Structure 1
C-alpha cells in the first residue's frame, strides 16, 4: 500500500509499505477514507520528538471502512464506517476504568522511553514515534486498529466522513481541555491558538455555557474563521496587547479558564521568543512555552490553565511563582478519545458542532508532502490538510 513516511528532519515521502493485517483477535483493519494533518505532527517533522525512524508512517486522525475483523471483535463488522481514536486504549486497566484512556497501562509497547522522560508511560498512539509505541500511522491506505472495540466508533448515518474525521482527535482533544479545564456556564474562556484544536475548544466552551470566549493568534485567515465560523472573539497578538484585551473583557479580573492549544513550538513577539528559540535549537531545552507562560500570567487568581498543546520534556523559566501565589489549577492531558468521541458524534449529528471549515485543503495522499509544506508554513490559508488515499 502507499503511505506517507518520515524520512528525516523536514523530509517526508510517499512510499510503498507492507499492507497491515490482523495481528491480535481484538484488531480490525480499516481502509482509510480521510486522514488529516495535525499541529502535533509538525513536532515530528521538525525533529523535536527524537524517537522517529526513517520509514515510519505518520498521522493519527482518520476515518474509514472496516475491511477485516479479528475473532474477538464484537462491536464492528466488515463494511462499518468508523472514526478511530488517535490514542489506543485497552479498556481494562485502572486508568481506562477511570476514563483516562490516553494513560492506558497496556498499549504503549515501548514504555521505557517515556518512563525515563516523564516517570510513567502514557498509552500508545498512532503514528507518533517509537516513544508512543511505534504504531503505524493513518496517512496510508490501510491501518491496523488494535483494541478496536474500545477505540473505534461507528459513524452515525447522518454524519459525513468529512465531518466525522475531526472527531478522531481534533474535537475530542478540544473537549478534553474544556471538560477537564472545568469550563462552567457564565465563564470567560481564553484560548491560545486558532488552529483546529483551538477553534474547536472555543466552540465546545460555548456549548458548555461559557459567556465569552476569546481566541488568541496572529494568522488572519484563522482569526477570521474564529469570528465567522465559531462565533468567538479574536485577539491578534501581533497588533493587540493580549493582557490588556483580556483585562478589558473581564472587568480587570482575567479569564476564568485559559486553554493553551499551541504547544512546544509557540511563537510570540519580543525577547522571550528569541530566547526560547535559541535554547530549543541548541537543544538546551526541548520546548518553547511562550503561550503557556502568557496563559499563566493572564489567568485570573484562582482560575484554571489547561495545557492542550503537545510538549515533549523540559522548558526553561516556567512561572511557578505565578502559579502558586495566584492559586491556579494547572492541568494537562492528551485526548481521552473513548470518553469524548461518542459525545462529539452526537453533537455533530445534531449540527451544533461543525468543524468542516477546518478542511481548507483536500488532496490525494500522493500530494501529502506538499500538504504538509502548506500546513507548516501556514501558506494559502491552510488550516488543515486532508488526504484521500
Structure 2
C-alpha cells in the first residue's frame, strides 16, 4: 500500500509498505478514504520531537471504512464508516475509566521511554513517534486500529468526510481548549494562534457562551477566518503590542481565559527574543519556543484560566512561574481526550450548530502529501489545513 513516511528532518515521501494485519483480538483494519496533515505533524516534520525513525508512517487524523475486525470487536462490522480518535485507549484502565483517554495506561508499548522524559507515560498515538508507541499512522491507504472496540466512532451518511475527519483531533482539541476555560456569561476569551485548532477553539468558545473572543496571529487570511467563523476580534501581533492591546480591550483587567493553541514552534515579533529561543531550539538545548505560552500567562487576568492545547514535547526556558503563582492563575492542559468528545461534537455538526470544515483550505491526493507538507509549513496559497484524499 501507499503511505506517507518520515524520511528525516523536513522530508516526507509517499512509499510502498506492507498492508497492516490484525495483531490482537481487539484490532480492526480501516481502509482510509480521508486523512489530514495536522499542525503537530509539522513538529515531527521539523524533527523537534524525539524518537522518530526514518520510514515511520505519519498521520493521526483519519476516516475510512472498516474492512476487517478482530473477534473481540463487537461494536463494529465490516463496511462501517468510522472516524478514529488520535489517542489509542484501552477503555479499561483507571485513566480511561475517568475519561482521560490520552493518558491511557495500557496503550503505549514504549511507556518506559516516555517515563524518562515526562515522568509518566502518555497514551499511544497514531503516527507520532516511538515516544508514543511507534504506531503506524493514517496518512496511508490502510491502518491497523488497536482497541477498536473503544476508539472509532461510526459516522452517519449525512456527515461528509471533510467534517467527520476533523473529529479525529482538531475539533475536539479546540473544543477541549475552550471547555477547560470554565466559560461564564460575559467572559472574554483570548486565543493565541489562528491555525485549525485555534480557529476551532475560538468557535467553540462562542458555542460555550463567551461574550467576546479575541484571536491573536500574524497572518491576515487566518485572522479573517477568525472574524468570519467565530465572530472574533483579532490582533495581528506584528502590528500591535499584544499585552497593551488586550489590556485596552478589557479595561485593564486582561482576558478571563487565555488559550495557547500554538505550541512549541511559536513566533515572536521581537527579533532578539525570537533568535534567542530559535537558536536554543535549533541546537536542542531547549525543545520549545514558548512565546505564545509566556504571553498568555502574562496577559490573563488575575484569577483567570490559562488553557494549553498547543503541543509541547519537553522543556521550556524562562517560564513565568512567578506570574502563574502570584496572580492565582489556573493552568489546564493535556493532549485531547478525543473519545470524550466525538459523539457530542458529531451531534453539534448534525444539528447545524457548527461546520468545522471551514478550517480546510487544501484538498490533495495522498500521492501529493510531500507537497501538502511544504505548503502547510510555508503557509503558501493561504493554507490553513490540508486534507488528503486516498
Note whether the superposition's TM-score is higher than 0.5: yes
Secondary structure at 1:322 match in 2: helix
CA contact (8 A) 1:26 1:71 kept: yes
CA contact (8 A) 2:260 2:307 kept: yes
Secondary structure at 1:163 match in 2: helix
Partners of 2:179 and 2:223 in 1: how far apart? 23
CA contact (8 A) 2:206 2:230 kept: no
* Residue 131 (1) aligns with residue 131 (2): yes
Secondary structure at 1:40 match in 2: helix
Partners of 1:191 and 1:226 in 2: how far apart? 10
Partners of 2:182 and 2:137 in 1: how far apart? 32
Aligned to 1:157: 157
Partners of 1:155 and 1:359 in 2: how far apart? 19
Partners of 2:11 and 2:341 in 1: how far apart? 34
Secondary structure at 2:47 match in 1: coil
* Residue 118 (1) aligns with residue 113 (2): no
| CA apart distance, 1:275 | 1.1
Q: Which residues of 2 match residues 349-388 of structure 1 at below 5 A?
A: 349-388=350-389
Cα RMSD (Å) of the superposition?
A: 0.9
Aligned to 1:293: 294
Residue by residue over 1:248-281, the C-alpha shift from the partner in whole angstroms, topping out at 9 and shown as x without a partner, is 2222111111000001010011132221111111
Gaps of 5+ in 2: none
CA contact (8 A) 2:36 2:387 kept: yes
| CA apart distance, 1:183 | 2.2
CA contact (8 A) 1:3 1:140 kept: yes
Length, aligned pairs only:
389
| CA apart distance, 1:322 | 0.6
* Residue 140 (1) aligns with residue 127 (2): no
Partners of 1:247 and 1:292 in 2: how far apart? 17
* Residue 183 (1) aligns with residue 204 (2): no
| CA apart distance, 1:330 | 1.2
Partners of 1:84 and 1:160 in 2: how far apart? 15
Aligned to 1:275: 276
| CA apart distance, 1:157 | 2.9
CA contact (8 A) 1:110 1:133 kept: yes
Partners of 1:100 and 1:183 in 2: how far apart? 21
Q: Which residues of 2 match residues 134-283 of structure 1 at below 5 A?
A: 134-270=134-270, 271-283=272-284
Partners of 1:42 and 1:185 in 2: how far apart? 36
Residue by residue over 1:366-388, the C-alpha shift from the partner in whole angstroms, topping out at 9 and shown as x without a partner, is 00000000000001011111111
Secondary structure at 1:55 match in 2: coil
Give the alignment's TM-score, normalised by structure 1.
0.98
Secondary structure at 1:149 match in 2: coil
CA contact (8 A) 2:254 2:299 kept: yes
Secondary structure at 1:215 match in 2: strand
Secondary structure at 1:148 match in 2: coil
Aligned to 1:89: 89
| CA apart distance, 1:283 | 1.4
Residue by residue over 1:36-85, the C-alpha shift from the partner in whole angstroms, topping out at 9 and shown as x without a partner, is 11111111111111201111000100111111111111111111111110
Gaps of 5+ in 1: none
Partners of 1:356 and 1:283 in 2: how far apart? 36
CA contact (8 A) 1:114 1:120 kept: yes
| CA apart distance, 1:156 | 2.5
| CA apart distance, 1:357 | 1.9
| CA apart distance, 1:174 | 1.1
Partners of 1:90 and 1:182 in 2: how far apart? 28
Secondary structure at 2:274 match in 1: helix
Q: Which residues of 2 match residues 27-46 of structure 1 at below 5 A?
A: 27-46=27-46
Aligned to 1:321: 322
| CA apart distance, 1:221 | 1.1
